[in-house]
Amino acid sequence: MRLLEARSLGHAVAGRSLVRDATFAMDEGELVALIGPNGSGKTTLLRLALGLIPSDAGSAAIGGTPVKALSPVERARRIAYLPQARPLVWPQPVRDIVALGRFAYGAAIGRLSASDETAVSGAIAACRLEGFEERAADTLSGGELSRVHLARALAADTPLVVADEPVAALDPLYQHQTMQLFAGMAREGRSVLTVIHDLDLALRYATRILWMHEGRIVADGPPRETFTEQRLCEVFGISAKLRDNGGAIRLDIAGPA
Amino acid sequence: MTRITPMLLLAIAAALIGSIMLGSVPLPLDRLLAALAFQSGPDDQLVVWQIRLPRALAAASVGAALGMSGAALQGLLRNPLAEPGILGVSATSALFATFVLYFGLAAAGPLVLPLAAVAGALTATLLVAAAAIRTRSVVTLILIGVGLSSFSAAIMALLMNLAPNPFSLADMINWMLGTVDNRSFDDLLFAAPFMAAGAAILLGSRRGLSALALGDEAAEGMGLDLRRQRLAVIVGAGLATGAAVALAGAIGFVGIVAPHLVRPFLRYDPARLLVPSAMLGALILMLADIGVRVLPTDSELKLGVVASLLGAPVFIWIAARRRLA
């Protein structure tokens, strides 16, 4: 059974088509990078696939159940979603924010079961936030906050994590550590679908790349097969060279095409 | 951390005793206890059972309803400056009450005025709830609330403009200033079911308020039914606030200030905030009402006036010290 399956999804706002005929699926043990230029419809596609906004065309299913038939709690137990916008209103301690990841299991802040506690501590450790547990959210840097939100999503312990630009605010060390964390999850049989703008990270760590351009998925396959100089030019409008560096492909971006 | 709840409980008990002892005729503790146990003369019993106890309980329940509604709405709207009347409930409730005073219908029976106030609150609540079913945006709800409030205020101004005689104008103004003077157990019994229903709905949906701290989209992804959560808070706060307005008229700022003051003691968790906010709201209004009675002014100060005089500076202080976003 597929963790997530989107068939011919389409969505238009005020006559403008944001996503058209998008079909893709997520299986176990995958780290899929969703890439594409600004405004290519990546975030809208994620929302459609999760059923957070209604689709004008096509359908989506999570674990074999159509999203329309899934309650929010059932969905949250199958997929953890980390949106791109992460507003915080109250200066809550880090541990309490991460604990919200257990919401779908009936947990409330300050009232966690033993398994909730284990999941929260595990997520804090995975995002290297030990020592930050009691820090107030408004004393953290943007990158540290990003890791708190990621830990919140990971604390749900779901088979699939869908993350919208999780590494955008992180320094190079944490970007690589986060991608390695995702790759490790994929090796253990869990799956991650992530929007990412750093093409080099996508090329390095993803098991599969979804290329989006003007609302359509224009390519879907392993990095080695889908990364071509011509596609980089067509989709991103950049001139780039691909080098085979002893088995690993490296990307060399020269500038606008 | 949660020691704040027993501390507030103690303070409320002390304030309750104080508000029965203090007043134009001071009542020492022994006479107070005797009167409470129906062991004293009829005068003391009258003062305690007919005047001071219902008045203190009215102040407490109004403060509790406003404190809890404010906390819930601040959680829903993710704004520390949201107040119980932000969705137009208080203003519409006051408008309906003003109608009754304008046409001199309040004399028809003791419950006519509170009935009208509750009807107004329910009308506004239903309008906003109907909008919440259609829209995904909380900003739309706030704008509808602002619109309702402005419209109600405009019609109230019109009614005052056209007031048939100075007495009905004075009635309207006095009612709008907000007071728990002369409240009886009958008034309390009328308002209690609405307050209890509102509080029950708010408490039943409080866990979702924690999830909303991370934003609507994340909360929905975490398993929150956004629409149901909004409806619960709108209806719960509408019932509790409407009943508070019916009992005491318009009393501002308690619903903003009480949640803000207890928030740090509850690790800023919007869910655990509800009960302590209600307790602090009750305490603030009981103390303010004691102050109103003890201050030697020619005509008694109105509770709503004192609450606003104390609350508005705190409001500015909160706005200036906001830490996030």
In which residue are the tokens 């999203």 written? Answer: A67
A83 touches chain B (CB under 8 A): yes
Burial (Cβ within 10 Å: 0-12, 13-18, ≥19) of residue B114? buried
For residue B95 the two structure tokens come to 């408008």
Q: How far is A183 from chain B (nearest CA, A)?
A: 23
**Cα–Cα distance for residue pair B55/B34, rounded to 1 Å:** 19
Could you tell me which residues come within 8 angstroms of residue A210 by beta carbon, excluding any fewer than 6 positions away? A24, A32, A33, A34, A35, A217, A219, A220
Could you give the angle at which helices B274-294 and B4-21 cross, rounded to 10 degrees? 20
Using CB atoms, which residue from B211, B213, B269 is nearest to A88?
A: B213
pLDDT of B294? 87
Say yes or no for a CB contact (<8 Å) between B223 and A91.
no
Per-residue pLDDT, B39: 86
- Tens-digit pLDDT profile for residues B100-150: 988 888 888 888 988 999 999 999 999 999 998 888 888 899 999 999 999
| CA distance from start to end of chain A | 42
Q: What is the pLDDT of residue B324?
A: 61
Residue ranges in chain B whose pLDDT is less than 50: 1
Q: B31 touching A, CB under 8 A? A: no
Answer whether B78 touches A (CB < 8 Å): yes
Is A73 in Cβ contact with B207 (below 8 Å)? no
Q: What pLDDT score does B43 carry?
A: 86
Q: Which residues of A touch B226 (CB under 8 A)?
A: 72
**Contact at 8 Å (CB) between A128 and A147?**
yes
Across the interface, whether the CB atoms of B324 and A71 are under 8 A apart is answered no
Could you read off the pLDDT of B259-271 as tens digits, one per residue? Answer: 999 999 999 999 9
Determine the pLDDT at residue B24.
79
Contact B129, B234 (CB under 8 A): yes
Check CB contact under 8 Å for B323 and A101. Answer: no
Judged by a CB distance cut-off of 8 A, whether residue A230 touches chain B is no
Q: Alpha-carbon distance B293 to B271, whole Å?
A: 35
Look at residue B168 in the predicted model and tell me its pLDDT: 84
Please give the residue of chain A at the shortest CA–CA distance from B218: A83
Q: Tokens standing for B60?
A: 């407490």
3-state DSSP assignment of residue A34: strand
Quick one: tokens of A85? 């916008």
- The Cα-based distances of B177 to B203, B209, B245 in angstroms read 29, 32, 11
Can you give the pLDDT at residue B123?
94
Read off the tokens for B59.
Answer: 């102040």
B chain contacts of residue A83, beta-carbon cutoff 8 Å: 215, 217-218, 221
Question: Is A97 an interface residue toward B (CB < 8 Å)?
Answer: yes
pLDDT at site A153: 97
pLDDT tens figures, A83-121 = 998 888 899 999 999 999 999 999 998 889 999 999 999
- How far is CA B224 from each of CA A67, B107, B141, rounded to the nearest angstrom? 15, 48, 19
Number of H helices, E strands in chain A: 9, 12
* pLDDT given at position B310: 87
Using alpha carbons, list the distances in angstroms from residue A163 to A46, A153, B38, B62.
Answer: 9, 8, 67, 45
The reply to whether residue B269 touches residue A72, judged by beta carbons under 8 angstroms, is no
Residue B256, number of CB atoms within 10 A of its CB = 28
Best of A75, A109, A112 to mutate (most B CBs within 10 Å, chain B): A109
pTM: predicted TM-score of the whole model, two decimal places: 0.93
> Could you give the C-alpha distances from B99 to A6, B151, B158, B159, B163, in angstroms and in order?
57, 14, 11, 8, 10
Chain B environment of A148 (Cβ under 8 Å): none
Q: 3-state DSSP call for residue A18?
A: strand
